[in-house]
């Protein structure tokens, strides 16, 4: 049962990671960042995607495992 739960959680987080990456592509964040700080902007983008995927995935899993 633990293996199944691990696979489900991993799949949910992966799906929400991809959805978050796709959704944040619509945000024009370049206007808010300093010019010439490309590497820092990329790191910030990845961290935002990870945080959003974790929050959305945890929200979804909380409903999945409480029912």
Quote the domain boundaries for residue 49: 2-66
For the chain, the farthest-separated pair of C-alpha atoms sits apart, in whole angstroms, at 50
pLDDT tens column, 5-52 = 999 999 999 999 999 999 999 988 878 888 888 899 999 999 999 999
pLDDT value for 35: 87
pLDDT value for 31: 82
Domain count, the chain: 1
pLDDT value for 67: 63
pLDDT value for 22: 97
Look up the pTM and report it.
0.84
Q: How far apart are CA 16 and CA 35, in angstroms?
A: 30
């Amino acid at each position: 049962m633990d293996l199944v739960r691990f696979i489900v959680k991993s799949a949910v987080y992966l799906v929400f990671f991809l959805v978050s990456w796709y959704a944040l592509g619509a945000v024009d964040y370049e206007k808010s960042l300093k010019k010439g700080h490309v590497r820092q902007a990329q790191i910030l983008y990845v961290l935002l995607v990870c945080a959003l995927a974790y929050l959305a995935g945890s929200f979804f899993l909380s409903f999945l495992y409480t029912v």
